[in-house]
Amino acid sequence: MLGETRVAAGGAVGERWARTDARAKVRGELLYAADQPLRPCLDVVVHRSTRPHALIGSVDTERAMAVDGVVAVVTGAQLYKLFGNALMTGPAFSDQPCLAVDRVRYIGEPVAAVLARGLAPARTAADEIEVDYTELEPVHDVDLAVAGGPYVHDVLRPSVVFGDLKHLRGKRDTNVNYEYTLRRGDVAEAAAAEGGRTVHEEFWCPPTHHVPIELPFTAAWRDGDRLEILSATQTPSYVRQSVADLLGIPLNAVRVRSAPLGGSFGAKMYDRLEPLAAVLAWTQRTAVRITASREEAFLLTTRHGAAVTGSMTADKDGRIVAATADVRYDTGAYADVGPRITAKSGMVATGPYRVENVDVRSRCVYTNKPSAGPFRGFGVPQVTWSHESLVDELARECGVDPAEFRRRNLLREGDVAPVGTPMHSADFAGCLDAVTEAVGWDTPLQREEGRLRRGRGVAVGVKAVLTPTIANAVLQLNQDASATLLISTVDMGQGSDTIMAQIAAEALCLGEGQVRVVAADTDVTPYDTITAGSRSTYHTGNAVRRAADAMRDKLLELAAERFGVAVTDVKLTGDGLVSAENQQKVSIPELLHGHFGARGTTLTTEANFTTSWVPYDHETGQSERVTEHWFAGAVAVQLTVDTATGRVHVEHLAVAGDVGRAINPKLVEQQLTGAAIMGVGHALFDQMVFDEGQIVNGTLLDYQLPSVLDVPDKITPIIVESPHRSGPYGAKGVGETTIIPLAPAIANAVRDAIGIRFPRLPLTPERILTALAEQEAGA
Amino acid sequence: MTAEMAAPLGAPTLHRPDTLDEVCALLGSLDQAMVYGGGTAVQILIKQGVLFASDLVDLSLVPDLDGIERTDTGLRVGAMVSLRRMETDPVVRRIVPLAAQVYGHVANPRVRNTASVGGNLAHGDYRLDPPTALMVLGARVELRSSAGVRHVPVRDFFVGFQETAVAPGELVTAVEIPAQTGSSSGFAKLSSQSVNDWPCASAAALVTSPVQGQRELRLGLGALAEVPKYVSVDVPSDAGVADAVRLGQEAAGPVIDPIPDIRGGADFKRRLGLVAVEDAIRAAWGSTGGTETGAAGRSTGKEGSDARRNSRRRWWRSR
């Protein structure tokens, strides 16, 4: 691989550079998508279904059209006449229309769109639309949906956008749109062995919402035979393909620009507002913008609710010998990327342990709810909730300290994971050691203090990075030695613009502020699979590193020519290029000026980084190379439970992730910490509550996130570095690492404090108080 | 003069009068007018599309509504005084420390800097914190209309679910709070989601100085019924804190009738209500100079100061 064996030139990787956008963000000067100046746009507001499952009869738009300022009202049926099945989009199945065509599948589904001059008339008119429904029986519960009808979709139609989802097949008469199985060894035999102990439990994680601060926004306008889109999206390359397919036009006729996102966590990916904005702008030959309200954002996508039936068996020596998981993901009315989540989580559903006998069944299930999609952790936190609760109970059954029990069973470098792929650069034990040491795991604990009970808990998490994927980078070195980097990675607060600048600067000996990253624009920046799943630092970072190394090689060649020496005699340093042979020196500006004979010129390189895999076997789920790399993390927590109020208070939260190599330790610590705080919410109160398909708490008055007062007394983020052999400077991503084992670590500490195992999230005071009362009654 | 803003379609018309007489005239003549104080509740209602008002009458240009006056009996607080000022003003902290403490528990500093004393009461929500303190302190609300001024005790101000004694054409112009002399007090607020969420139970307790061998224990309860509730009970002045807690809980129990919602079921809230009562009484009793103090009910004396998260945390740990 180009340049990867060379020693780094210097000064950028491993430094705590300030975020490139920090100043603009703090001063309120950063322009998010909705802040950007645009041509005059019509505002779009949709009329939403009031039924969870119904056939659409007539849609009466007359009164809406009469509202002053309304330009057009468009229904799904009208769009279907124009686009046919191309109206149905989705990354896995082509199942979701931007406006319901003949049937609604969840309360809140868009049925008709109003285009108006101004948001207020658009809203008024949307309320005036009347829809005549014939109700169908809805299905709300994931297990009832698995068991049989009513069916949310009559026929399932796979889309063919992504390499890892090529194998999906069309089916009918089922709500299960995807099933992944993982089989290895003989679970029954292992579980029956003498002296063994088995624990099992039914777990549940409720649906949750991402709640990014910046609300979803998309604008689109038609420019002759081209369509331009400005959207708050993590996936500009996907959106371009999806919209080109939908409109039946070439990729170069669709331009998708993104902007810095004010948080996303998976909420702004794939097909959100873009298909609707695209078809309205295209068919009405106008410019439109859609601004989701906070309440509407709750309807756009959610984290999958998931039921897991799991078991784990240890032999008489305390070795984990068997594990099972039956996982049912509630994907709501549309599959979105649920099938990939189902597979990617299924393959790690037994945890980061050496287990020779595993049996996993992971299913993605339609119900009449808002569609669930990607969410930081990509379904893995839900299965981790199962395996990290089970392993904790199993340790207690075996009479072994839960941290020590895990330590004995964790996968080590070179071990083969249950899915069949060897481990590399995934130091679970190092993470576990770091967090337990940080919380003083082996020090005495004052267990009672008035009505408080104190406990400690630990959990470990594993996730496989999305594979195969594709990243590209174009690097332009300007004559003045500043650089412009063209990539389609979207900075959504994770700091990718800073990280990529550091990677590019390293090979070229550039300093802080010398590399500018261009915001994703499909007319300008090259294809990148997605900015998600913690993949950018490794994948796009590798493309950037290759482009930077190629640039350095070009500079060395130019300098060698100028000096009249061999390329191998030239070195690039912070002061420019130097010949080892004759001590000649030239700065980058002088070199490029001399080469091109003009100022302001640019030297360009480009690079691709594509990962490959061996598709998993569809019977056994096994693959010798299912993923490019692994994420490894651990969490230890000390907390108190108030036995009078049921309230949990986290005193110390230590979180660690093996990031291979920290390109920017400050940003890594912030990711470790941010994911941990989000996980505290999921552990204690974060949940979407539905009543017969209706969201009960779909506002920020009722949907609660951790406030600054919910942050643990102390958080210790710990960077573990076991370099990846092909990571850029050894690096891997980190955005999801600590959210994965967070909730079980807290539940395990609660178990330690009060002796009660909670299999359902979140651990609300009411659940805890009720369980304490039952415990007391039983005693 | 009245500045009338052009409103977008469907939005209420905004009026910005600069005298109280004009305010009263507008409230008397407009069909469905709503007074706009700090706007923290009204703005949310507008955003959610559930504000049923034809007109908004903004008080921000009306002079003399934002004063805190020392009176013979205590304080007279103007309707437009911010909650944050109630929390931090040295006079409020000295004359009615319980009120200062409780105002410091409302929502978060952003809201407290904007929300007004009058608007907070007029909001009429059953979960509000300030009424719990104002009820035990014996405060009364000053209401004004074109017909004149009247006063309503805070204990009688909340007449039904989200409904107050403010009559059509009236607005809250002030709250009169008797000085807290010789009494000791405590406050407890318990939430089931994030720490600064609405409470699912809150209680203010005030213990008067002994008269003829008896103290009066007054309790103001929030979030535990469809309106804020007030009860009182006499406690022998030589009683221990355990007796005071028992008597307080016996008095509070019958009026606790929680509304179940996503924050918890009725049984859970009832149980939490009794814990809040206990915590508030222990905090109050602890500062009477009595002998017994509960280990779990320590009052830090610093509660409610805004980002002093450490003290807030200590407080949470002591719950």
**pLDDT tens track for B298-311:** 333 333 333 334 44
| A310 lies in some domain | no
Q: Where a domain ends, among A278, A300, A322?
A: A300
pLDDT of residue B10: 62
pTM: 0.94
% of residues, chain A, pLDDT over 70: 98
Q: What are the structure tokens assigned to B135, written together?
A: 């009820």
Q: What angle do CA A276, A280, A282 make, to 5 degrees?
A: 115
Of A243, A275, A300, the residue at which a domain comes to its end is A300
Mean pLDDT (chain A) is 96
Look at residue B251 in the predicted model and tell me its pLDDT: 98
Beta-sheet strand order (sheet of B33-36): B2-5, B13-17, B55-58, B33-36
Q: Are residues A454 and A493 in the same domain?
A: no
Indicate if A508 and A579 belong to the same structural domain. Answer: yes
* Listed residues A582, A610, A638: the one ending a domain: A610
Nearest residue to A572 via CA among A590, A555, A591: A555
Distances (CA, A) of A564 to A79, A582, A585: 66, 9, 12
Q: Is residue A690 part of a domain?
A: yes
What average pLDDT does this structure show over A369-378?
97
Residue of A nearest to B11 (CA): A120
Residue A322, in any domain of the structure: no
**In terms of domains, do A38 and A86 share one?**
yes
Q: Which residue of B has its CA nearest to A764?
A: B192
Choose, out of B42, B48, B262, the residue to mutate when testing the contact with A (most A CBs < 10 Å). Answer: B262
Query: Is residue A340 over pLDDT 80?
Result: yes
CATH number of B12-58: 3.30.43
Which residues make up the CATH 3.30.43 domain(s) of chain B?
A: 12-58
Answer for the pair B272, B261: CB distance below 8 angstroms, yes or no. no
Domain that holds residue A280: 34-138+211-300
Average pLDDT for residues A184-197, to the nearest whole number? Answer: 94
Q: DSSP of A664-724, one letter per residue?
A: SHHHHHHHHHHHHHHHHHHHHT----EETTEESS-STTTS----GGGS-SEEEEEEE----
| Percent of chain A predicted with pLDDT > 90 | 95
Give the whole-angstrom CA distance, residue A604 versus residue A597: 16
* CATH classification of the domain holding A81: 3.90.1170.50
What is the C-alpha to C-alpha distance for residues B32 and B10, in angstroms, rounded to an integer?
14
Q: Where in chain B is the domain with CATH 3.30.390.50?
A: 184-317
Instruction: Provide the pLDDT for residue B317.
Output: 39
pLDDT digits (tens, 9 = 90+) for A476-513: 999 999 999 999 999 999 999 999 999 999 999 999 99
Answer yes or no: is pLDDT of A445 > 60. Answer: yes
Average pLDDT over residues B137-149: 98
Q: What pLDDT does residue B306 have?
A: 32
**Strands across the sheet with B201-207, in order?**
B184-190, B201-207, B214-222, B229-236
Whether residue A685 lies within 8 A of chain B, CB to CB, comes out as: yes
pLDDT of residue A169: 73
B193 with A685: Cβ contact below 8 A: yes
Alpha carbon of A591 to those of A376, A510, A607, B112, B192: distances in Å?
45, 15, 23, 61, 66
The amino acid that residue A693 corresponds to is G
Class of domain B184-317: alpha beta
Mean pLDDT of chain B: 88
Residues A461 and A634: beta-carbon distance below 8 Å: yes
Q: What is the DSSP letter of A416?
A: B
Q: What is the CATH number of domain B68-178?
A: 3.30.465.10
Q: How far apart are CA A179 and CA A619, in angstroms?
A: 10
Distance CA B80, CA B67 (A): 8
Least confident of A514-528, B38-52, B139-153: B38-52
pLDDT class for A294, splitting at 50, 70, 90? very high
Is A223 found in the same domain as A120? yes
A423 and A452 inside one domain: yes
Mean pLDDT of the A754-768 span: 98
How far is residue A516's CA from residue A476's CA, in Å, rounded to a whole number?
Answer: 10
Residues A267 and A221 in one domain: yes
Q: Are A576 and A599 found together in one domain?
A: yes
- Selected for mutation to probe chain B from A642, A643, A645 (highest B CB count within 10 Å) is A645
Quick check: is A16 in a domain? no
Instruction: Give per-residue pLDDT as tens, B112-130.
Output: 999 999 999 999 999 999 9
Mean pLDDT of A727-733: 97
Average pLDDT over residues A391-397: 98
d(CA B195, CA B310): 13
Q: Provide, for chain A, the percentages of residues in helix, strand and coil under a 3-state DSSP scheme, each rounded to the nearest 5.
A: 30, 25, 40
Average pLDDT estimate for A651-661:
98
- Same structural domain, A548 and A693: no
Q: Where in chain B is the domain with CATH 3.30.465.10?
A: 68-178
Q: How many domains does chain A have?
A: 3
Dihedral over Cα of A273, A274, A279, A284: its sign: positive
Mutation for testing the A interface, residue in B108, B125, B189, B192 having most A CBs under 10 Å: B192
Evaluate whether B34 touches B57 at the Cβ level (below 8 Å): yes
Tell me whether B66 touches chain A (CB under 8 Å): no
Average pLDDT over residues A332-345: 96
User: Based on the domain organization, do A535 and A650 belong to the same domain?
Assistant: no
- Can you tell me the distance from the alpha carbon of A165 to that of B204, in angstroms, rounded to the nearest whole number? 59
Contact with chain B for residue A69, Cβ under 8 A? yes
Is residue A9 one of the residues assigned to a domain? Answer: no
Same domain, A705 and A628: yes
The three-class DSSP label of residue A142 is helix
* Helix boundaries (H) for B96-145: 97-103, 109-114, 117-123, 130-137
Who among A67, A642, A713 is closest to B319 (CB)? A642
Query: CB A765 to CB B262 under 8 A?
Result: no
A450 touches chain B (CB under 8 A): yes
Is residue A391 located within the same domain as residue A500?
A: no
Residues of A in contact with B10 (CB under 8 A): 120, 123-124
Structure tokens at A709: 């007062």
Residue A562 has pLDDT above 80, yes or no: yes
Q: Could you tell me if residue A178 is inside a domain?
A: no
- CA of B103 to nearest chain A CA: how many angstroms apart? 17
Instruction: Specify whether A457 is located in the same domain as A555.
Output: no
Q: Is B197 in Cβ contact with A769 (below 8 Å)? A: no
pLDDT in tens, A231-267: 999 999 999 999 999 999 999 999 999 999 999 999 9
A694 interfaces chain B, CB cutoff of 8 Å: no
CATH of the domain at A694: 3.30.365.10
β-strand pairing of A287-291 with A217-223: antiparallel
pLDDT tens per residue across span A109-157: 999 999 999 999 999 999 999 999 999 999 999 999 999 889 999 988 8
d(CA B176, CA B75): 6
